[in-house]
Amino acid sequence: MLQIPDDLRSIPADHEVPGYLRNTYNWAYLDPRNCRILDNELIVGVILFGNHVRLRNAALAEIKTGQSVLQAAHVYGTYIPEVAKRVGPTGSLDCMDIAPIQAALCRRKLRGMPHARVRLADASKPGNGIYDVVSCYFLLHEVPDDLKQAIVTALLQRVAPGGRAVFVDYHRPARLHPLRGFYRKLFERLEPFALSMWDTEIRDMGADSASFEWSKQTFFGGVYQKVVARRIA
């Protein structure tokens, strides 16, 4: 059984995990045994078809030493501690996750890094802080469409003037991509909220997108995207 670190004992006993997470992703994010197996850089590499280092580096390239970063949810593998290392002790990292077990895994990775903290929160209600960078890494495809909009809107509100929000997620593969059919089937069977990422631009998910300059880069024949929204100062 996974050990929950002492400092997560403050989690309210009645903390609710949303239905979409319980019903669709229990096996991936709530089952303690599977969480332990999946939270591994090798497995992340397999899930992302070997693109994990490229995608992680693309997101990290948007973060500088000394900045304040809000992380919308826990990410399996080394992404979270890499962000903490990147901002360094002169910066800060504020991580959220909605699931206690995921918050625990995240906190465990950040031991010995006092400039990083982890809290239990819904990414659509991230609090009142303002950050240089807001990072949302492979979260949107796992939540229902109305929540995608609420999350993008709420995260954009947390970006400082001149700061940026960085979204890395799935995207519509090129028309002749050999894995397009595979991804469609995979999403239909296992990830029912992912297919809408093929039809909707992230910039169109949030309110107030006109206050930002948007850029998009795709990877692996369009399967993945990095979208950066820079708040016009």
Ligand X SMILES: C[S@@+](CC[C@H](N)C(=O)[O-])C[C@H]1O[C@@H](n2cnc3c(N)ncnc32)[C@H](O)[C@@H]1O
Footprint on this chain of ligand X (rule: CB under 6 A) = 21, 29, 44, 73-76, 96-99, 102, 122-124, 137-139, 142-143
Residue closer to ligand X by CB (options 67, 124) is 124
User: What is the rounded (10 degree) CA torsion for 33, 34, 36, 39?
Assistant: -170
Residue closer to ligand X by CB (options 99, 133) is 99
The conformation of residue 206, written as its DSSP 8-state character, comes to S
Residue closer to ligand X by CB (options 131, 138) is 138
Structure tokens at 71: 């992380």
Check: CB of residue 119 under 8 Å from CB of residue 96.
yes
Least distance in Å: CB of 175 to ligand X? 25
Least distance in Å: CB of 87 to ligand X? 19
Which parts of 61-124 fold into alpha helices (H)? Answer: 79-87, 100-109
Least distance in Å: CB of 232 to ligand X? 27
Residue closer to ligand X by CB (options 92, 102) is 102
Residues 6+ apart with CB under 8 A from 176: none
CA 181 to chain CA centroid, nearest Å: 25
Least distance in Å: CB of 5 to ligand X? 16
Rounded to 5°, the CA angle 212-214-219 comes to 150
